[in-house]
Chain A
């Protein structure tokens, strides 16, 4: 996949992982695993970027006697997800056009 495209897609995935409830690094990776393989080293810059862009906030909470960072989605992050879904609709339309059967293909098959 194109690096730029994958980066953008991962950002949306991370935002979606914290959309319903606040989450922490390891859980985000685990939640995404069935859909998208993401490593710790990949996740960190994404979280930092999203934080700088005002899409999420970070807070530290004690958990089992240690600190754990929780990520909380902000309205800007929700807006990013919403925009992505709109763009996706356009993309799928383009995909249908790109993958349409070649002219005459149907006739040959029949």
Chain B
């Protein structure tokens, strides 16, 4: 085989492949490489026929190129071949019809239980909410009474005299102090109950998800 025939055959094989597998620039590099190999062998003293025979049949060379493709570094032109994604087994496949039947048949048992559990959770939440609201109520009443007592101490000082005014001011300041203390207590408690709600909600949701996955 002559060098020209070798090059033409290999070129035909390389362009027969989609450019996604072998980019045109890569094909040219392959051809240059093998041409150089034949030329160098001829320069080394081989005849053209011998040099071509030493490199191998173009079909074999092409097969070797294809076989080595996964080893090649990704070229800029060559698109990475789409990796077939393993299809995850669908849930429908996993759940047997018996499980669904069982779920429906046992619904008179688990539906009321589920409702009861939800009701308990709801009532607990209402109780918690009530405690938080009452704490804030205490804070508001303390703050209001403190403000009113302090404010009313001024006319008492003027109208009723020193002892009444002092008593009102003292009580007012005490209420205001307690209100400040309660304010911190209330915010802390509110934060705690918010956190508790979040955790409960997440727990309920995750429980639901787990159940869904199992079925």
- Our pick among B40, B60, B71 for the contact of A24 (Cβ within 8 Å) is B40
Q: How far is the CA of A103 from the CA of B30 in the complex (A)?
A: 55
**Who on chain B is nearest to A47 by CB?**
B33
B39 interface hit (Cβ, 8 Å): yes
Chain A 48-87 interface residues, beta-carbon cutoff 8 Å to B: 48-49, 51-53, 64, 66-69
Residues of B within 8 Å of A, CB-based: how many? 21
Whether the pair B64, A41 counts as a contact (CB closer than 8 A) is: yes
Cβ-neighbour of A45 out of B37, B43, B55, B68 (below 8 A): B68
8 contacts between A and B (CB under 8 A): A24-B36, A26-B40, A26-B41, A27-B40, A42-B64, A44-B68, A52-B73, A67-B32
Task: Count how many pairs of residues, one from A and one from B, have CB atoms less than 8 Å apart in the complex.
Answer: 56
- In the bound assembly, the distance between CA atoms of A19 and B54 in angstroms comes to 26
Complex CA gap A39/B40 in Å reads 14
B45 to chain A, nearest CB (A): 12
Residues of chain A touching chain B, judged by Cβ–Cβ distance below 8 Å, are 7, 24-27, 30, 39-42, 44-45, 48-49, 51-53, 64, 66-69
Point out the residue from B44, B55, B73 that lies within 8 Å of A48, measured CB to CB.
Answer: B73
Chain A residues near B60 (CB, 8 Å)? 41
* Extra A-B contacts (5), CB below 8 Å, given A25-B33, A39-B64: A40-B56, A41-B68, A49-B73, A64-B43, A69-B36
Q: Could you tell me the distance in whole angstroms from the C-beta of B81 to the nearest C-beta in chain A?
A: 16
With a cutoff of 8 Å between Cβ atoms, the chain B residues found around residue A49 in the complex are 71-73
Chief secondary structure at chain B's binding surface: helix
Q: Check B178 for interface membership: any CB of A closer than 8 A.
A: no
Q: Are A40 and B33 in contact (CB under 8 A)?
A: yes
Please give the distance in Å from A31's CB to the nearest CB on chain B: 13
Q: A45–B29 Cα gap in the complex (Å)? A: 11
**Contacting pair B37 A25 (CB below 8 A):** yes
Q: Which residues of A contact B64 (CB under 8 A)?
A: 39, 41-42
- The reply to whether B36 and A25 form a contact with Cβ atoms under 8 Å apart is yes
Min CB–CB distance A6 → chain B (angstroms)? 12
Given A40-B55, A48-B72, does the pair A68, B61 have CB atoms closer than 8 Å? Answer: no
Q: For the complex, is B189 an interface residue (Cβ under 8 Å from A)?
A: no
In whole angstroms, how far apart are the Cα atoms of A51 and B72 in the complex? 10
Question: Chain A's nearest CB lies how many Å from the CB of B48?
Answer: 14
Task: Tell me the complex Cα distance, A8–B33, Å.
Answer: 22
